[in-house]
Amino acid sequence: MLFVDRSDAGRMLARALARFRDEQPIVLGLVRGGVAVAAVVAAHLKAPLDVLVVRKIGVPAQPELAVGALAGDILWLNDPLIAQLGIPRATIDRIVAIEREEVARRQALYQDGRAVPDIAGRTVIVVDDGLATGATAVAGLRALRQRQPRRLVFASPVCSFDGAEQVGREADEVVCPFKPSDFQAVSQAYRSFPQVDDGEVRQLLRMQSES
């Protein structure tokens, strides 16, 4: 399966999530790329859209390799992997401090004066554009669980088997239509997979709130 772009992936994912429409869910897009998919899902489900700000804790020499993630007050670390890679705790603490500042910056930027949605007792669908290790999703779902949603669903157009299994331990349900046996990177599932910037995230949120 190959998606044209994130909008195409969002339309396909929305069909897989149609059964949740009657639960009047709240859709949260994982910043940043997940918001582009989540906006399409929210429109199809006629649901409110907001963001979930999560930052990956990357290996200093390989920032794309996640050894943990940060969301709100929740810090998730893959301690066995950190030990295996021999990364000093002081190095991890320094990275975490930097990412905490970035989480706060992005949250303020995207919220733009809007109230954080009350998800207590609601069905919440967390959407990303793809799931690899699952590190960021795990941190985000744990942070959301503290806010006592009725049901917590994670949805992504494409997932690795390991990532889906990891996230499945945190979410009440995982919806992922495409799990390639030869998964290597999320971008492989897309013809067009450009970076999503802050301006695009803000525009998507503004457009949804005005619709």
Query: Please, are residues 90 and 75 in contact by the beta-carbon 8 Å criterion?
Result: no
Average of per-residue pLDDT across 47-56: 94
Same domain, 187 and 144: yes
User: 168 and 198 in one domain?
Assistant: yes
**CA-CA distance, 178 to 180, in Å (whole number)?**
6
CATH code (residue 157): 3.40.50.2020
- pLDDT for res 63: 75
Torsion of CA 188, 189, 195, 198, to 10 degrees: -150
User: Is 160 in the same domain as 80?
Assistant: no
Number of separate domains in the chain? 2
In this prediction, residue 4 carries a pLDDT of 97
Residue 206 lies in a domain: yes
**13 and 47, same domain (yes or no):** yes
Answer yes or no: do 133 and 179 share one domain: yes
Q: What is the pLDDT of residue 114?
A: 82
6: pLDDT strictly greater than 80: yes
- Whether the per-residue pLDDT at 209 is higher than 90: the answer is no
User: Residue 141 and residue 200: Cα distance in Å, rounded?
Assistant: 24
For tokens 């949260």, the residue is: 28
- 47 CA to centre of own chain: 17
| Domain annotation covers residue 88 | yes
Residue 1 lies in a domain: no
Residue 66 included in any domain: yes
How high does pLDDT run on average in the chain? 93
In a domain, 155, yes or no: yes
C-alpha to C-alpha distance for 77 and 202, rounded to whole angstroms: 29
- Secondary element (H or E) of residue 55: strand 55-59
For 190, phi and psi rounded to 5 degrees?
-125, 140
Angle at 144 between CA 115 and CA 164, to 5 degrees: 135
Which string of DSSP letters, residue by residue, matches 73-104?
Answer: TEEEE-HHHHHHHT--HHHHHHHHHHHHHHHH
Sheet with 62-71, strands from edge to edge, namely 55-59, 62-71, 74-77
pLDDT for the residue numbered 100: 94
Pick 64 or 146 by higher pLDDT: 146
Structure token digits, residue 50: 């907001």
Judge whether residue 62 has pLDDT over 90. no
User: Residue 155: which domain range?
Assistant: 6-52+118-210
Q: pLDDT tens for residues 148-195?
A: 999 999 999 999 999 999 999 999 999 999 999 999 999 999 999 999
Query: Which residues is 70 bridged to in the sheet?
Result: 55, 75
One domain for residues 11 and 82: no
127 and 24, same structural domain? yes
- Segment among 7-21, 44-58, 62-76, 83-97 with least mean pLDDT: 62-76
- Mean pLDDT on 132-145: 91
